Structure 1
């Protein structure tokens, strides 16, 4: 083979691995042969579930092609004839906090929404007002999801009466009307244990609703498996899918115990999942959930009934209060993942959902419009709904789907071994498992291995605090948001600023020219800003000038920044100079290996180091304590 022939053939796996070994060898100062035949094993990253994500997937990872959409196990979707012009249902959530819910509902439908999610009892929407809220809404065109808590039965009766009234018009097509009653006794019970105030009807009452729904000619599903409650508590993707399937099994078993055939019972269940800004995880999770549920239907002897609608909601836990405009980007990526993953209904939460209404000085209508238009842009400009399961055939996505499905199935089996979901909730086992995952995620966020733009990475220290508002955020207190530890530090800084007129400060002591120290001074400035601390950078400063810079900064904490080589010749003198100028705490940017132990005297020994993999949240909290920030 000539050089030209090799170029035409493209790179091969062996040459790529040789390149990987060479890069790793240079970075770790080792011999390339030490990394073995598969050096890319050293680049594998793990999810919170411990699932390995490889840096490269090839035809060697290819799996058998899943059946087409509409065929068991429904990995590629349940509906082979979905309207590709409409795509998924753009589902808007209404909780009745606006001045005119009816006008808001109609306006949303007129401007691109195609399904409604009505939260009853939280605000202006009540059971008695449902007919008024839905006045003029074509119920045979726009699906309606009820979220009525303990009022599920009365809300269901109100909607069924409305359907009967509409049914007197021969133009109304009952067969195309889709109503979700939203009975969720098990997931609501878990959410209450996590601090939610929501309630639900008991299992017997929910089964009665399912029996009534089956007798109707409309498409009505009584049971909702709201897996977002597991996600909001901190669950991983496999835990969310496994627990959701366990809830679905419990519902189906209850209906079958009441005399309902398996296929009919399966037709009464639908799912709601969270999707995040990790688009591939979201895509694979939705596909894996369909596969797992189809397997359950197969075991029950009704594989053809193993498809259940999926409602994907952008994650409440990923939303931030700091730099909330970035939430628009998070919502866009999550909606993309939901659409590509095959969700039947998608809801994008408003980007300010983690803040009290009005605290950003914008209208609720604006935030709702942005949330709705996020999906419309994906559908109408990117044409994302034109292809069913566009991720099919991707070696990475198919592998990740299979891996999540297998891990979720193991988690489901463990729940069943413990007596089912209700028992796992009551004895605390499920909560403990999710708490362990939440702790691992919190640690990753604290160490900034899990990046949150605008919070623990690239924070805007000059950001104005949100306006005070007496309202309640759309997201409840039971949601464990990823950004909270750092936002708490920023709140402390804001309070200090309001009280004293200035931010807490830390002096940066750059060593050498800008080209040498710029990387570390930039890193430290970003690190400090994540905790609401202002970094004072005097620029290239000689050792003789450090004393005056320390006095001008008006702080008792300094961070020495420079290259390892520069530390070897100047760090000890810089530390001594800073201490002599009244600096009580001196830190060094980098690792402890940069300073030779035998060259450090007691007065030139730093108090600590600022490095990439430290527990930044804890270190920043300690710095605020040292700086006297209450």
Structure 2
């Protein structure tokens, strides 16, 4: 078959698909096909928080030219063409956090060696600020072969002392190939304030840069902490755009201080958040590399534009409620980061959002599950065997290009404000991110964005959390997606502790189970997401309502049934509930059912899939006496 024939066949198949989609959409919308636009399939488009349109299908018509191979500018397909395909990306485990034997260097050393012997291939070590004392680093790193396991420090204001200690360890070590030693000092001066963290001044950071450049080992001083922007609520393109703006600010400071541009570029690494949005995460890491390569190219050193990427599973996506679901979220996140070409990946423990961890779960177990999540992907699913496996996918390539374009646009906005520091100082950077955060919060509140175990399919029977567990974990600037619903659940827990029962609402199912089941299930799920128990007495007649109210003692009731049943019985049911002493009557269904009906027979509110669930549930808890 000729090329022209192939193209004709493709167009014919695509036209047939379009026709089929239009037919289904017309049926579901109860309109004629002729009433739909010619490209009706685009009615199924979705939009990301970066205002990127995602189509329902990508075809050969979306094909893009093949990019350069891995290791070649602009590093779209990865920075290292010689990465060991038997090992894949580096499995990076964090050690030394508060409470993890911070005062006992020997115990911490044992934990690190155990971690390395069980699959960890890179270390992320918290030093100072309540973590391990920098002077204890020789003991902490005893027996660690730094030429085999890259080391990243999180020393914040103590980074000078930590760097001195690490350099001392290296100077006294017998290492044949010092260039194989990979150390990241983790200085994040420009982003520290946004993350409510401490750091050293830029002048001191530049001194460390000079010292690092002069060493025989591979030492990078600067970490551009993109996760800060993610934790504030930014979209993926905003995170990338803000990160490269900060990276450029570091470059300017270094070159202004007389440091060669190639040396300056090789002093920088990036850290980005990986989320459970698999394809967005893949595209994000690919796009970030191309944009930083472009910065390096404009600066005159494209060969030095291959900064490493460290992926960390999102703190913002982690939930306190039903924390076991976080295992699935972090699996998707680490998959996306690894396939997207991150050089190292850190998976947070599934109970990282809970103070002290999940009840009855040891930190050792949580850490092992986090580590093994990656090992399963690498050792059993063999994801590291192929460099950039998403290359050539019409969807991934198009999404990567779109994310890169939006990130570059955001970067240009920051530059137009006078650069990164100016955009932070005038509030424009944070304001843009807050706008995205408000949009996401609204979607979560309206349950447009489902969070399993939080605003969808909550487990109301799970044990109440202690105040220590629900306290903010990590920086105060982490805006977790489910925090509004979890605050409602905290109120329910407090009510349970005081009254030995959950705040409750009576369901009034009208008709048979087949008639009311859809809406009783919807109402129960909605109420449970706010910590409110739905008392379901089973199918009721209007005559049985008074007895159900007396038995339950409920002050609030939700009528559930079909639209047809409502037309016959809803108004009477509302009257019966009020007569039985119920002070607030809601109906699971749209308000149009009661069009033209006023007075006491009209419900006080209507529960639909479009309601602001947080607002509705907050009002219900207020009425039920669950204190804030």
If the length of structure 1 is used for normalisation, what is the TM-score?
0.95
Going from structure 1 to structure 2, the CA distance change for 1:174 and 1:474 (only over 3 Å counts) comes to: farther
Give 2:168's aligned residue.
161
1:55 equivalent in structure 2: 56
Counterpart residue number, 1:98 = 100
> Superposed, which structure 2 residues align to 1:376-391 within 5 Å?
376-391=375-390
* CA distance in structure 2 between the partners assigned to 1:611 and 1:469 by the alignment: 35
1:541 to 1:336, Cα distance in 2 relative to 1, 3 A: same
Q: Aligned residue for 1:147? A: 154
State the 1:474 CA deviation: 5.0
1:23 is displaced (CA, Å) by 2.2
Distance in 2 (CA, whole Å) between partners of 1:10 and 1:203 is 58
Secondary structure, aligned partner of 1:146: strand
Task: Report SS of the residue matched to 2:222.
Answer: strand
Aligned CA distance change for structure 1 residues 123 and 369 (closer, same or farther; 3 Å): farther
Say whether the 8 Å CA contact 1:327–1:351 is kept in structure 2.
yes
- The residue number in structure 1 matching 2:182 is 178
Please tell me whether residue 611 in structure 1 is matched to residue 613 in structure 2. Answer: no
Alignment of 1:542-581 (within 5 A): 542-581=541-580
Q: 1:124 to 1:257 in 2, by over 3 A?
A: closer
Unaligned runs of 5+ in 2: 1-8, 102-106
Query: SS of 1:128's equivalent?
Result: helix
Distance 1:323 1:14 in 2: 45
State the 1:467 CA deviation: 4.5
1:145-169: CA deviation from partner (whole Å, max 9, x where unpaired):
0111111122112111211111xx2
Long gaps (5+) in structure 1: 1-7
Tell me whether 289-298 or 148-157 shows the greater mean CA deviation.
148-157
Q: Is the 8 A contact 1:357 1:472 kept in 2?
A: no
The 8 Å contact of residues 263 and 305 in structure 1, kept in 2 or not, is answered as: yes
Partner residue in 1 for 2:124? 117
Which stretch shows the higher mean deviation, 467-476 or 450-459? 467-476
Equivalent residue, structure 1, for 2:458:
459
Kindly tell me: are residues 527 and 31 of structure 1, through their superposed partners in 2, closer, same or farther at Cα, counting changes over 3 Å? same
Work out the CA distance in 1 between the residues paired with 2:618 and 2:339: 41
Question: Do the aligned partners of 1:493 and 1:533 also contact (CA within 8 Å) in 2?
Answer: yes
SS in 2 for 1:355: coil
Aligned partners of 1:286 and 1:601: how far apart in 2? 56
Does 2:428 correspond to 1:429? Answer: yes
How far residue 586 of structure 1 moved from its aligned partner, in angstroms, is 1.1
Give per-residue Cα distances to partners, 1:358-402, cap 9 Å, x unaligned. Answer: 551221111111111111011001001111001111111111100
Q: Residues 506 and 534 of structure 2 are in contact (CA less than 8 Å); yes or no, is this contact kept in structure 1?
A: yes
Query: Residue deviations 1:229-281, cap 9 Å, x none?
Result: 11111111111000000011011111111222221111111000001111111
Instruction: Give yes or no for the alignment of 1:189 onto 2:196.
Output: no
Poorly superposed stretches of 4+, deviation over 3 Å = 8-11, 467-474
TM-score of the pair, normalised by structure 2: 0.95
> Using the alignment, how far apart are the partners of 1:473 and 1:284 within structure 2?
30
Query: What is the match of residue 214 of structure 1?
Result: 213
SS at match of 2:65: coil
Find the counterpart in structure 2 of residue 227 from structure 1: 226
Give the match for residue 5 of structure 2. Answer: none
- Shift of the alpha carbon at 1:310? 0.1
The Cα shift of 1:455 comes to 0.5
Task: Quote the offset at 1:19 in angstroms.
Answer: 2.2
CA distance in 1, matches of 2:358, 2:73: 48
Look up the SS of the partner of 2:134 in the other structure: coil
1:72 matched residue in structure 2: 73
1:359·1:469 contact (CA, 8 Å) conserved in 2? no
Q: In 2, Cα distance between the equivalents of 1:409 and 1:201? A: 29
CA contact (8 A) 2:320 2:470 kept: no
For 1:31 and 1:206, the matched residues in 2 are separated by 66
Q: What displacement does 1:602 show?
A: 0.9
Contact 1:359 1:467 in 2 (8 A): no
Distance 1:9 1:431 in 2: 46
How large is the Cα RMSD of the aligned pairs?
A: 1.6
Higher mean C-alpha displacement, 469-478 vs 523-532: 469-478
> In the aligned structure 2, how far is the partner of 1:20 from the partner of 1:514?
34
Partner of 2:618: 621
Q: Tell me, what secondary structure is at the counterpart of 1:129?
A: helix
Does 2:133 match 1:126?
A: yes
Secondary structure of 2:478's counterpart equals coil
What do the CA deviations read for 1:55-105 (whole angstroms, capped 9, x no partner)?
111111111111110011101100001001111000000124323211111
**Is the CA contact 1:235–1:438 (under 8 Å) kept in the aligned structure 2?**
yes
Name the SS for the 2:321 alignment partner: coil
Alpha-carbon displacement from aligned partner over 1:184-237 (angstroms, at most 9, x marks no partner): 11011222xxxx2x2111112112211111111211111110111111111111
SS at match of 1:86: coil
Q: Is the 8 A contact 1:353 1:473 kept in 2?
A: no
CA contact (8 A) 1:359 1:466 kept: no
Report matched runs for 1:188-587 at 5 Å: 188-191=192-195, 196=196, 198-358=197-357, 360-467=359-466, 469=468, 474-587=473-586
What is the SS of the residue equivalent to 1:560? strand
The match for 1:83 is: 84
The 10-residue stretch of structure 1 (317-326 or 27-36) with the greater mean CA deviation from structure 2: 27-36
SS in 2 for 1:444: helix
For residues 241 and 190 of structure 2, the distance between their equivalents in structure 1, rounded to whole angstroms, comes to 14
- In structure 2, distance between residues paired with 1:9 and 1:419: 49
Q: What residue is the counterpart of 1:33 in the other structure?
A: 34
Could you tell me whether the CA contact under 8 Å between 2:559 and 2:585 is conserved in 1?
Answer: yes
Aligned residues: 613
TM-superposed deviation, 1:470:
8.6
Name the CA distance, whole Å, in 1 between partners of 2:576 and 2:21: 44
Aligned equivalent of 2:144, options 114, 137, 141: 137
Q: Check conservation: 2:62, 2:398, Cα contact below 8 A.
A: yes
Distance 1:172 1:475 in 2: 39
Is the deviation greater in 115-124 or in 521-530? Answer: 115-124
Provide the C-alpha distance between the structure 2 equivalents of 1:583 and 1:183, rounded to a whole number of angstroms: 60
- Give the equivalent residue in structure 2 for 1:602: 599
Distance of aligned partners of 1:142 and 1:393 in 2 relative to their CA distance in 1, 3 Å threshold: same
Q: CA deviation at 1:178?
A: 0.2
3-state SS in 1 of match to 2:515: helix
Alpha-carbon shift at residue 18 of structure 1 (Å): 1.9
The residue matched to 1:397 in structure 2 has which SS? helix
